[in-house]
């Protein structure tokens, strides 16, 4: 597969992260009511925040998984009650992305994405398969072609949100030769607005009728990796350009 951004071909993960602008990422993410909060009042520098992999922090892993399960169930109108056991299992697969942001002992956010075999990814975004049906054999390693399925995101403030997405984008850039497509699914309007700012295109939609009779729309998104990380609007906002 051709390299999408050849200028980064020989960079390390840390070097790619350093080339991405936290300020511009905050601009891209914009405002949100439910998934990017404004709490607590941020009086630290963003450099003081820490990013961990969920499987590397066993002492608080269970608490974070329970919080994630509660939030996802709230965001998805009580239809995501399978999350607790699945997240614990999926986070152990080393090529899946399970990032946690913290400041000292305080949790500030998470970003979860699954690296799936392209056929499984396609079934999910075509609404032919449910997330709860994902099995271990459906994951793809970095040594084979895979697609990134955006699973879950939440941040207590915009600084944590920006740092989580910087880490996520850097991993996409580093592994660009082995990623076919990027996408996901959501019912939450806040999440739909955020996803559409990032050059992901609406793909399939399905109406869901809740117990109280309200109808909501389950919307899936997908885009080629080339369009996702190299579209003009994202490049202008995210990558720092030399103004000389």
DSSP label at 79? Answer: -
Residues 6+ apart with CB under 8 A from 163: 22, 46, 49, 51, 101
- Output the pLDDT for position 40: 64
**pTM summary value:** 0.91
- What domains does the chain contain, in order, with CATH numbers? 6-38+46-238 (3.40.630.30)
Q: What is the pLDDT of residue 23?
A: 85
- Would the pLDDT of 35 be above 80? yes
What's the whole-number mean pLDDT along residues 135-155? 95
Q: What is the pLDDT of residues 154-200, one digit of tens each?
A: 999 889 999 999 999 999 999 999 999 999 999 999 999 999 888 89
Question: Confidence band (pLDDT; 50, 70, 90) for 240?
Answer: low
**36: Cα within 13 Å, side-chain hemisphere:** 25
Task: Write the pLDDT tens digit of every residue in 123-141.
Answer: 999 999 999 899 999 999 9
C-alpha triplet 79, 155, 209: angle, nearest 5°: 20
């Amino acid at each position: 597969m051709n390299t999408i951004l050849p200028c980064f071909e020989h960079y390390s993960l840390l070097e790619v992260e350093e080339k991405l602008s936290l300020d511009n990422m905050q601009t891209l993410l914009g405002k949100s009511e439910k998934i990017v909060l404004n709490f607590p009042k941020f009086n630290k520098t963003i450099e003081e925040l820490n990013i961990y992999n969920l499987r590397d922090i066993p002492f608080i892993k269970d608490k974070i998984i329970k919080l994630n399960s509660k939030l996802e169930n709230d965001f998805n109108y009580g239809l995501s009650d399978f999350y607790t056991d699945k997240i614990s299992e999926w986070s152990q697969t080393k090529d899946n992305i399970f990032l946690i942001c913290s400041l000292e002992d305080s949790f500030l956010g998470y970003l979860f994405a699954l690296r799936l075999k392209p056929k499984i990814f396609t079934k999910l975004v075509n609404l032919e398969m449910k997330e709860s049906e994902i099995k271990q054999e459906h994951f793809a390693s970095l040594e084979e072609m895979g697609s990134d399925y955006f699973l879950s995101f939440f941040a207590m403030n915009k600084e944590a949100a920006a740092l989580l997405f910087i880490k996520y984008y850097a991993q996409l850039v580093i592994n660009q030769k082995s990623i076919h497509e990027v996408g996901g699914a959501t019912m939450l309007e806040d999440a739909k607005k955020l996803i559409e700012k990032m050059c992901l295109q609406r793909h399939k939609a399905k109406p869901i009728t809740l117990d109280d009779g309200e109808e909501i729309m389950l919307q899936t998104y997908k885009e080629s990796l080339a369009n996702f990380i190299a579209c003009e609007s994202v490049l202008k906002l995210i990558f720092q350009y030399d103004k000389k």
